[in-house]
A and B are shown apart, each in its own frame.
Chain A
């Protein structure tokens, strides 16, 4: 960073590098759809790992879902878990390597449907890990099916007439549920659809790693995100949908902060 690249050593014209890809990301291009929040969350998370200088001490767990290949991009040791089981896998890692930083990265189907039991019990044990939860209200990888977090009336390939609460229940606010558990030390809901939300997410992630170092318990960072392909919208339209529909249903901000 901040190295000067002289275009012409004779003349005093140069380019200054003020920003670059963190070393904690590999050179592999993301496979994510244009406009998808995963790319931003990956980058912010890995920036935090680099800035805290914990690349060598960090082990991540990738889920099943769109971010199944997170381990291709995140340049830290990683394990790929079975669908829904990332927090159990993270528990196994953290228990045998208690001095390392461990995070799981999961989508809504993975964390809040098939993996609900693992999610709740991992937090209830107060595992000293960071759980990153991407909530975009849809199953992206399998092609746009209804998620546990899909909104009422939301049209998906498996709710073609809109989500009907009488049939399939209401969108599950898993982060709110987790706040009830004493093992949850820090629970927050963030987003990545504009620079301000990205900055806030970064702060939440930094705090989470700091708490993990202090062995405080589980830190749970939800990111309300978008899915242009699954929502069948242009990326710009997804931002409008986020602001008008998703965020009123999943209000941003800290849900549980350390009591001191």
Chain B
């Protein structure tokens, strides 16, 4: 999360959404298709402003449904392509995302999450964790999911997401939120044009004489064939597990472990500082990839923790994955705010202290 000292002179002050859009241009984006929705419209606005003077193309579609299907077509034609939206718009895209996952097309989908369900609120939320990490649309599939916690990571993860998407021929998602999208921070942008293109011999670029016609489809009507495709996908998801990423803050001697991603992790960092000032041995595990998920690391950290507190801006979604990692060995508690509300570091510390005193009374 720290700006690298040696490049501090290159730092710009940018909104998360704009940093992400600029990073996409730096990543040699071929095409962006999108539809306005708060709190991520700056992505489309920025690209509409910048792309005509630089490279690539941007198109405002008639809906999120059209956007994601344009992404499908362009990705199938071998282009580096992305879309972005916020929660209700991402729900509209789910059919298309399922097709993209099944047809194994690389692309980037950005969800700047707002509070739901329904039309909800335009304030930040993490309520789309299940949708992002467990599939989202119909059928058995996974996206690669990256969760930034700063404006810098909004930019950096564009590169990581394209790289992973192309490596695995799989859609990747950046799961952000309205606060990260809207807030301004210092950011050092990745070097323009520094992300090499992955060859796509499978793409529909026009059948040449030396090959059969390429077909992009998600239809495999014989169940034997469809099962084979599913097995291929599952193999791929297994292979992706090596890409798991996380950050640890003061976990070495932690008796109390906080687990949080994205903006919640940012807040929990402060809680760790406040707790340490009071002499509480508290640490934080921040999953950076939400799929694949760091179950293994959570399992290891559970060995030495008294208890775990998962903090999310939802009703308790990632906590289920934490519990899967912990396998019942220590208590896993949950602290959450919903509907666009953000927990404060003090609220979280209070929750920690309540559990802490309960545990230590029990021990006495």
Interaction A to B: yes
Q: How far is the CA of A219 from the CA of B71 in the complex (A)?
A: 22
Contact residues, A91-116 vs B (CB, 8 A): 91-93, 95-97, 100
Interface flag for A50 (CB, 8 Å): no
Shortest A14–chain B CB gap in Å is: 30
* A-chain residues with CB within 8 Å of residue B26 when the two chains form the complex: none
Given A78-B216, A82-B99, A92-B31, A118 contacting B207 (CB threshold 8 A): no
Which of B33, B59, B213 has the most chain A CB within a 10 Å cutoff?
B213
Given A56-B207, A77-B207, A97-B77, A89 contacting B57 (CB threshold 8 A): no
* A-chain residues with CB within 8 Å of residue B67 when the two chains form the complex: 88
> In the complex, what residue of chain A is closest to B62 when comparing beta carbons?
A121
* B-chain residues with CB within 8 Å of residue A227 when the two chains form the complex: none
B: number of interface residues (CB 8 Å): 40
Total A-B pairs, Cβ < 8 A = 127
Shortest A240–chain B CB gap in Å is: 33
Given A89-B72, A89-B73, A96 contacting B81 (CB threshold 8 A): yes
Shortest B169–chain A CB gap in Å is: 15
* B-chain residues with CB within 8 Å of residue A95 when the two chains form the complex: 31, 57, 59, 70, 74
* A-chain residues with CB within 8 Å of residue B69 when the two chains form the complex: 81-82, 85, 88-89, 92, 118
Interface flag for B76 (CB, 8 Å): yes
Interface pair B31/A79, CB less than 8 Å apart: no
Which of A79, A81, A82, A117 has the most chain B CB within a 10 Å cutoff?
A79
Interface pair A75/B213, CB less than 8 Å apart: yes
Q: Which of B61, B66, B76, B209 contacts A79 (CB 8 A)?
A: B76
A-B contact pairs, 9 of them (CB 8 A): A69-B219, A77-B213, A78-B204, A79-B77, A88-B69, A92-B70, A92-B75, A92-B77, A117-B62
Which of A62, A76, A97 has the most chain B CB within a 10 Å cutoff?
A97
Interface pair B63/A96, CB less than 8 Å apart: no
* B-chain residues with CB within 8 Å of residue A80 when the two chains form the complex: 103, 215-219
Q: How far is the CA of A40 from the CA of B139 in the complex (A)?
A: 35
Given A85-B69, A88-B70, A117-B63, A93 contacting B206 (CB threshold 8 A): no
Interface flag for A68 (CB, 8 Å): yes
0/1 string, B202-240, CB within 8 A of A gives 1: 001111110001111111000000000000000000000
> In the complex, what residue of chain B is closest to A78 when comparing beta carbons?
B215
Interface pair A79/B62, CB less than 8 Å apart: no
* A-chain residues with CB within 8 Å of residue B66 when the two chains form the complex: 85, 88, 91, 117-118, 121
* A-chain residues with CB within 8 Å of residue B61 when the two chains form the complex: 88, 121
* B-chain residues with CB within 8 Å of residue A79 when the two chains form the complex: 72-73, 76-77, 204, 215-217
Interface flag for B50 (CB, 8 Å): no
Shortest A94–chain B CB gap in Å is: 8
Q: How far is the CA of A62 from the CA of B215 in the complex (A)?
A: 10
Q: Which of B79, B213, B214 contacts A96 (CB 8 A)?
A: B79
* A-chain residues with CB within 8 Å of residue B206 when the two chains form the complex: 56-59, 76-77, 97, 100
Interface flag for A55 (CB, 8 Å): yes
Interface pair A78/B74, CB less than 8 Å apart: no
* A-chain residues with CB within 8 Å of residue B96 when the two chains form the complex: 82, 85
Q: How far is the CA of A90 from the CA of B95 in the complex (A)?
A: 17
Given A79-B217, A96-B79, A118-B62, A91 contacting B73 (CB threshold 8 A): yes
Interface flag for A41 (CB, 8 Å): no
Interface pair B218/A91, CB less than 8 Å apart: no
* A-chain residues with CB within 8 Å of residue B59 when the two chains form the complex: 91, 95
Interface flag for B30 (CB, 8 Å): yes
> In the complex, what residue of chain B is closest to A69 when comparing beta carbons?
B219
Interface flag for B65 (CB, 8 Å): yes
Interface flag for A223 (CB, 8 Å): no
Q: Which of A62, A74, A96, A118 contacts B77 (CB 8 A)?
A: A96
Q: Which of B73, B207, B219 contacts A88 (CB 8 A)?
A: B73
* B-chain residues with CB within 8 Å of residue A117 when the two chains form the complex: 62-63, 65-66
Q: How far is the CA of A26 from the CA of B207 in the complex (A)?
A: 13
Interface pair A93/B77, CB less than 8 Å apart: yes
Contact residues, B56-108 vs A (CB, 8 A): 57, 59, 61-63, 65-67, 69-79, 81, 95-96, 99, 103
